Amino acid sequence: MSAFLDACRCQPTAYTPIWIMRQAGRYLPEYRKLRSQVDFVTLTRTPDLAAEVTLQPLRRYELDAGILFSDIMTPLQGMGIELKFEPGPVVHEPIRTDAQIDALPVLVPERDVPYVLDAVRLVRANAPRGVPLIGFAGAPFTLFCYLVCGRPSKEFAAARAYLYAHPDSAQRLLSHLADAMAAYLTAQAAAGAQALMIFESWAGLLAAKEFQRFALPAVERTVQALRGIGVPIIYYANQGSALMEAVAQLDVAVVGVDWRTPLAATRRTLGPTKAVQGNLDPAALFASPLQLRREADAVLTEAGSAPGHIFNLGHGIWQDTDPDAVARLIDHVHEKSARG
Ligand code: CP3
């Protein structure tokens, strides 16, 4: 019995489940303590530590789901792509040529990233209250942005220019990433992940036309490869409000949206068989306690009473957030949404 998994399937739940993007991370003192002794990459490659960091927020709060502590770039590092976290990912040799694309190895998760799968197993064995675990991957286009640009950026100009300058090469790279992430997500589910989330953090860079031409077919390829896997798939489209009609075509159980994307209209576009996840502004956690409750109520009202809403922030929690505000938000969402 899990309110989170039921909501993913648009089943009625006793209350609206809630979890928080980037819930395992720097706003938590217990994370900062561990992180002061161990660098980020070591955390992601040491199953005991990755599992410990994943479990930290689940011990502190009545969250309805956990998310594996890792990074969207971790499987690419496992494929032999060299990068550093500063703290955002910086790729040593950005991908710009066909020869580099042809040379990309195939990802074999059990061989290349065994530590991720061991972390999944450890979390499953130790999750408090039987909280379900979400595994995740970056969406092909979002990974493409980092690989082609080489570093975080507002515009990802080099990546967007590449779509126009070399559309066929871009498609090949996207397909390769789509297959790699399909293998990666399949392996996480086999290791015990009970839901899978695909992060399209840079969806908002694209107009609907380019999204339909490049990003959507690539993630569709990943999603099709996961058909029949039996765990719900969540597609998070950051700044995707202009893309929801296209996203509605994707065969996923849940669509996650940011705080600029109106939930009620999104639900109408997605229809009754897709659940939605979101979408409180991470900045709202800096409001007074009363105002934070009002902001949370507004999200619940926008989501409406039909089954299939998972409460979350619209994007990752900010590192200077007060951990007590998170506790108040979770309790309030549970109380306010309780259906007798
Ligand atoms: O609780 C969780 O959500 C699990 C952990 C998680 C991390 N990264 C840990 C992390 C998840 C789900 C991610 C996904 C991720 N990584 C995304 C998609 C989600 C999103 O925010 O849109 C993206 C775009 C990345 C790429 C990335 N990794 C960036 C931009 C950064 C730097 C910015 C930042 O938040 O610090 C990272 C590094 C990173 N990933 C850190 C953490 C905790 C910081 C490393 C540190 O402790 O110094």
- pLDDT at residue 136 is higher than 90: yes
Q: List pLDDT tens digits, range 155-178.
A: 999 999 999 999 999 999 999 999
**Active-site residue (options: 71, 115, 162, 236):** 71
- pLDDT at residue 340 is higher than 90: no
Tell me the pLDDT band of 7, cut-offs 50, 70 and 90.
very high
- pLDDT at residue 258 is higher than 90: yes
> Ligand 1: does its nearest atom lie under 6 Å from the Cβ of 26?
yes
From residue 220, alpha-carbon distances to 75, 206, 215, 271 in Å are 19, 16, 9, 19
User: Distance, CA 151 to ligand 1 centroid (Å)?
Assistant: 13
Q: List pLDDT tens digits, range 192-221.
A: 999 999 999 999 999 999 999 999 999 999
- CA-to-CA distance for 214 and 177, rounded, in angstroms? 12
Average pLDDT over residues 17-39: 98
- pLDDT at residue 337 is higher than 90: yes
> Ligand 1: does its nearest atom lie under 6 Å from the Cβ of 141?
no
- CA-to-CA distance for 151 and 38, rounded, in angstroms? 23
Angle of CA points 253, 221, 167, to nearest 5°: 130
With contact defined as beta carbons under 8 Å apart, do 128 and 64 qualify? no
From residue 280, alpha-carbon distances to 144, 149, 199, 246, 259 in Å are 28, 30, 17, 23, 6
Q: What pLDDT is stored for residue 297 in this prediction?
A: 98
SS3 content of the chain, % helix, strand, coil (to 5): 55, 10, 35
pTM of the model as a whole: 0.97
* Residues in the chain, overall count: 340
Q: List pLDDT tens digits, range 277-322.
A: 999 999 999 999 999 999 999 999 999 999 999 999 999 999 999 9
Residue 146 falls in the annotated catalytic set: yes
Q: What pLDDT is stored for residue 119 in this prediction?
A: 98
**Active-site residue (options: 15, 35, 96, 260):** 35
Sheet bearing 254-257, strands edge to edge: 66-67, 133-138, 195-200, 233-237, 254-257, 275-280, 309-313
- Whether the CA torsion 333, 336, 339, 340 is positive or negative: it is positive
Q: What pLDDT is stored for residue 269 in this prediction?
A: 98
With contact defined as beta carbons under 8 Å apart, do 123 and 51 qualify? yes
Q: What pLDDT is stored for residue 195 in this prediction?
A: 98
Q: What integer best gives the mean pLDDT of the chain?
A: 97
Residue 71 falls in the annotated catalytic set: yes
> Ligand 1: does its nearest atom lie under 6 Å from the Cβ of 146?
no
- pLDDT at residue 17 is higher than 90: yes
Tell me the pLDDT band of 249, cut-offs 50, 70 and 90.
very high
